[in-house]
Structure 1
Amino acid sequence: MTTRPLLYVCVRPQRNAAEAEYESFRTAMRLDADALARHDLVREPLPDRVFDRYAGFLVGGSPFNVADPESTKTDAQRRLEAELARIAEHAASSMGAAALFTCYGIGVATRTLGGRVSRAFPEDTGPVTIDLTDAAGADPVFGGLADRFSALTAHKEGTEELPHGAVLLASNDACPVQAYRVGDRLYATQFHPEPTTKAFTERMAVYRDDGYFESADYEAIAARVLAASVTEPARLLRAFATRFARG
């Protein structure tokens, strides 16, 4: 059997942030470049026969927001969200390729699959506490994680209503939907599972003036991030890779 790689799907217009995010995913999952391919969806549509060519998809963050009025979205964002919706529908149908949608990606998956996204559940930039649900204990990806752990977030919107048939896997007080699964191949997290604390502060610098935090507070927030321990999210990614990074 021929082994198919996973595909990192870039949804960040900022090339330096996208490159760093890809490296964070690859390093956290302990995959080489042959096992984790990449595609810039901001600038290019999905390639032909994409679901035959890849074993699974990783969708990261973006300064875009799903909950923004459609009239304010650029043509590029609308096209990008339509392409991501194809991935979500395919993975949710359990037809073959798996998918992990994170941060901005969870919003697209939620809306595509019948849930609701709103501005009601933002979280400040930095470390937060994540609590796993009882259902997570039996999940093949989340089951090996600590029941409570720290993760990194920075988002302006969140899932207000789960998609149809979704299983809630993680939560916290500020943003009740932190992770869920649909079927046995689609996973979504609101938190960022991939960056180290250092990589996250470097990403913060890229988006310093994009409204996620007060620019003058960068040093204080960065210090709090660097002091955090975020071991469990990377274990989640390795579990995902172990389960789906194969033919």
Structure 2
Amino acid sequence: MKFLVIKHTRSEGFGIYEQFCLDAGIDVDYVELAKGDRFPDPQRYDGLWVMGGPMNVEDVDHCPWIADELAFIQRAVQQGLPYLGTCLGAQMLAAAMGGQVGFMAKPEVGLLPITLNPAGQQHPLLRGLDVQPNVFQWHGQGVQHLPPGATVLASSPQCPVQIYAVGDRAFGLQFHSEVTPAVMDRWVSIPDYRQELERSLGVAGREAFHQAVYDQAAATARDAHILFENFVAIAQSSKISVKEVGIEW
């Protein structure tokens, strides 16, 4: 099995999932857009992960590769490639598939609870998660209108679209399930990131958030592993079903 991971910036990578893939014997290729990498043929892969970044979906003037990325995502999802998008990656999925992304009334920042709705509680991607897990939130935009046929699986008071599905193989997570204490350490060491956190939370709030990432590391790692195993199972079953109907990957 091989996954493709799209990184929008060097500072926001695959996080804890890199180790999960290593442990599971899953090969990983990276497209690093900040380095000018090109998009490969999506049919070479069993799953596509699209990570976060400080830019927004509409920032095409500063990030001219966004248009190509949206086209690539649309192509991959339409071909049936399993997709998991994190934060910006969730917003990219919505934009690529006909939804709409925009600014929220207030940024959502912190280790905060989301609530799985009845559809989410029964969904294969979320099987094994608590109904109200705490997740790492750091975003000022969200999905305002879902793509046609998409289904909301989880929400929060500030953001009604926290997890959603497009069909049965493409998923957006508005939060950062990949974050570990080491990732948080790196982010707060970046002046722009630290200042952005302090604009939202203040210095004391930023420090409390940082500590909470350590305090809840075991729980968030457990939830990330549940998501990982469930996505791998979906990718495996998707590969089998595609072969059964005679489509070559």
Taking the aligned partners of 1:156 and 1:28, their CA distance within structure 2 comes to: 29
Q: Give deviations 1:91-127, integer Å, cap 9, x for gaps.
A: 432x232111111111222122222211125544320
Q: Using a 3 Å threshold, how does the CA distance of structure 1 residues 233 and 33 change in structure 2: closer, same or farther?
A: closer
Determine which structure has greater relative contact order: mean sequence separation of CA pairs < 8 Å that are 6+ residues apart, divided by chain length: 1
- Structure 1 residue aligned with 2:44: 53
Please name the residue that 1:37 is paired with.
29
Q: CA-to-partner distance for each residue in 1:177-217, whole Å, 9 max, x for gaps?
A: 10101012111110011122443343233343452334734
Q: 1:234 aligns with which of 225, 230, 242?
A: 225
1:27 and 2:19 correspond: yes
1:90 Cα offset (Å):
2.8
Long gaps (5+) in structure 2: 240-249
Is 2:216 the counterpart of 1:216? no
TM-score (norm 1): 0.82
Q: Per-residue deviation at 1:66?
A: 1.8
Q: Find the counterpart in structure 1 of residue 6 from structure 2.
A: 9
Distance between the aligned counterparts of 2:14 and 2:95, measured in 1? 24
User: Aligned letter for 2:207?
Assistant: E
- The structure with the greater share of residues assigned to helix is 2
Q: Closer, same or farther in 2 for the Cα pair 1:125/1:205, shift >3 Å? A: farther
> How many Å apart are 1:245 and its aligned residue?
5.6
2:165 maps to 181
Q: Structure 1: which 5+ runs fail to align?
A: none
**Letter in structure 1 aligned against 2:33:** L
Shift of 1:28: 4.1
TM-score calculated relative to the size of structure 2: 0.81
The change in CA–CA distance for 1:87 and 1:6 in structure 2 (over 3 A counts) is: same
Q: How big is the alpha-carbon RMSD for the aligned residues of Structure 1 and Structure 2? A: 2.5
Q: Which moved more, 1:152-161 or 1:120-129?
A: 120-129
Q: Which residue of 1 aligns with 2:141?
A: 157
Instruction: Give the drift of 1:157.
Output: 0.8
Candidates 68, 72, 78, aligned match of 2:64: 78
Do the aligned partners of 1:124 and 1:213 also contact (CA within 8 Å) in 2? Answer: no
* CA deviation profile, 1:11-42 (whole Å, cap 9, x unmatched): 11xx3x24xx2242212455467522222122
Q: Answer whether contact 1:110 1:117 (CA < 8 A) is retained.
A: yes
Q: 1:145 to 1:87 in 2, by over 3 A?
A: farther
CA distance in 2, matches of 1:234, 1:203: 22
SS at match of 1:157: strand
> Matched residue pairs, number?
231
Q: Secondary structure at the match of 1:208?
A: helix
SS in 1 for 2:196: coil
